[in-house]
Structures are given as C-alpha cells and as structure tokens.
C-alpha cells in the first residue's frame, strides 16, 4: 500500500517521459514505460535485402552483388553481421541516452528491437553456443558504470535460453573512442585490443558477438579475429543499429 502511494506521488512530481521525444507518457501507449509507441514505430528499421557481410540494407545498385560497397573494400573476420535498425533519428537519440546519460534501464526496450529481429528473420541463434558482449576496458567501465553490450546480451540470452559469457573476451587496451576516427584510424586504434580469457574454451564454438552500434565493423571484426584465433568456428555479430 505504502509503495503504491509513493509511486503515485513520484509519478505526479516526476511524470514519466519518452526518452526520445521527451513528451509525457501519461495516457499514452509506451514500451516498458520508457519509449512512447510513436517513437518506437518511427525508429528506422533495417530492411532486406541485406549485405551478406555487414547486414546493411542494399540499394538497387548492389542487389546483383549481394554486398555493399563498404564491404567490397575491406576484410571482416566475422562471418555475418545483422542490425535491426539504422543508426539515425530516433534510434541514434535513444542509443545516446542509453550510453552517455546513464540510462541503463533502456537496455530492456532496446533489446526488444534485436529480439524481434532474430525472430522475424529466423536468425539461427539456436546454433550459437555462446553469446559474448563486446567488452569495455576496465577504465571505461568504471566511468560508465555499465557495459551497454552486456545489458543487451543479458536480455537476448534470457529470451532464447543461450549461454552468455560476459568475461570470456577481455579488452587489453583503453583505446580512443572510435566515433571521431577515420576508417583507417579505427582499424589501427582497435588492433590487438582483445584477448580470450584462458578459462574459456572457444574451440569449434559458434559465437554471437553483441554490441550497440556497427559503423565500419572494425571493433567487431577485431573481436571476431581474436575469437577465431582461439579456435572459434562461426562468429556472427548482432548490433542494435548500423
């Protein structure tokens, strides 16, 4: 009774607002009381046909090749990558709030984009032995207080009853943020940044790597390379947006 009363008072003083458009959610349809339904529907979905490497939507000029111009120019060490959304507009705002404004609770609604995508396109998650989130360096983790990739992984693993290994992949170097770097600088910046903890056997295992954003693929490719060097078989990548 008291908890219910306190919750009601809190809602009056601090009414829930959509984390994207900031409008009050009272009497509005919402996803987990964090994102209004209108913004949820406005988030631009990544639709087929997909590039068979990075998973981006292919335009008409690339349909016969099944690969986007970006992937033609570079080698990726993962086998395939997938993203349910485009990194723009509403989704870009939500990811910023999630990562940089300490809103770890957004992991729940954002993971639903990924879970729904897996179901809609029948991604073979049942063949994945482990789900591994892209790790943060311990200094970055201390600053942010949570790893956004691990939060997303937790919900995906729970939904599909997969094993999550949050500490199998370690980040050795506290690299610069990839955001402002050129493609070439990203590759150099991330090189030799990961290692597989000796306590985890990756031999012949199929891995689903999870992260929030796929830009050039430098980070996920380097992580996949490290896992394959440790004996992993197939490495798929799933990010929230690309």
| Among 40, 23, 43, residue whose Cα is nearest residue 31 | 40
How far apart CA 134 and CA 183 sit, in angstroms, is 19
All structural domains of the chain with their residue ranges: 1-41, 43-241
How far apart CA 208 and CA 232 sit, in angstroms, is 11
- Full DSSP string of the chain: -HHHHHHHHHHHHS--B-TTT--B-TTS-EETTTEEHHHHHHSPB--SSB-TTT-PBP-GGGTTTTS-HHHHHS--SSSEEE-SB-SSHHHHHHHHHHHHS--GGGHHHHHHHHHHHHHHTT--GGG-SEEEEPPPPHHHHHHHSS-HHHHHHHHHHHHHT-EE-TTSEEE-S-PPPSTT--HHHHHHHHTT-EEE-TTS--TT--EEEEEEE-SSSHHHHHHHHHHHHTT-S-EEEEEEE-
Q: What is the CATH number of domain 43-241?
A: 3.40.50.2020
Alpha-carbon dihedral 178, 184, 188, 189, rounded to 10 degrees: -10
How far apart CA 175 and CA 135 sit, in angstroms, is 12
How far apart CA 217 and CA 35 sit, in angstroms, is 28
User: Each residue's pLDDT tens digit in the chain (242 positions)?
Assistant: 444 444 444 444 456 899 999 989 877 788 998 999 999 999 999 999 999 999 999 987 766 678 988 898 888 999 999 999 999 999 999 999 999 998 999 999 999 999 999 999 999 999 999 999 999 988 887 888 899 999 999 999 999 999 999 999 998 876 555 455 555 555 556 677 789 988 889 999 999 999 999 998 989 999 999 999 999 999 999 999 99
> What is residue 192's predicted lDDT score, i.e. its pLDDT?
72
> What is residue 16's predicted lDDT score, i.e. its pLDDT?
86
Residues 6+ apart with CB under 8 A from 217: 54, 74, 76, 78, 81, 237
**Torsion sign across C-alpha atoms 199, 202, 205, 206:** positive
CB neighbours (10 Å) of residue 108?
Answer: 15
What predicted TM-score, i.e. pTM, was given to this entire model? Answer: 0.87
> What is residue 182's predicted lDDT score, i.e. its pLDDT?
54
| Among 214, 8, 185, 235, residue whose Cα is nearest residue 114 | 214
């Amino acid at each position: 009774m008291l908890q219910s009363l306190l919750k009601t008072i809190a809602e009056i003083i601090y009414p829930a607002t959509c984390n994207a458009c900031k409008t009050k959610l009272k009497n509005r349809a919402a996803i987990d009381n964090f994102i209004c339904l209108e913004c949820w529907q406005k988030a631009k979905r990544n639709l087929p046909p997909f590039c068979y490497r990075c998973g981006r939507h292919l335009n008409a000029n690339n349909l016969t090749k099944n690969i986007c111009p970006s992937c033609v120019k570079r080698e990726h060490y993962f086998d395939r990558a997938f993203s349910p959304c485009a990194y723009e507009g509403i989704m870009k705002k939500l990811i910023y709030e999630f990562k940089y404004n300490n809103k770890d609770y957004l992991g729940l609604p954002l993971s639903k984009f990924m879970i729904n995508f897996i179901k809609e396109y029948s991604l073979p998650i049942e063949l994945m032995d482990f789900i591994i989130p892209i790790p943060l360096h311990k200094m970055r983790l201390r600053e942010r207080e949570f790893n956004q990739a691990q939060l997303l992984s937790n919900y995906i693993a729970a939904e599909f009853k997969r094993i999550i290994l949050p500490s199998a992949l370690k980040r050795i170097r506290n690299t610069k943020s990839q955001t402002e770097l050129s493609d070439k600088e990203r590759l150099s910046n991330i090189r030799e940044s990961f290692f597989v903890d000796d306590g985890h056997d990756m031999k012949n295992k199929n891995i689903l790597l999870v992260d929030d954003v796929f830009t050039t693929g430098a980070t996920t490719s380097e992580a996949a390379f490290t896992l394959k060097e440790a004996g992993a078989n197939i490495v798929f990548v799933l990010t929230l947006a690309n």
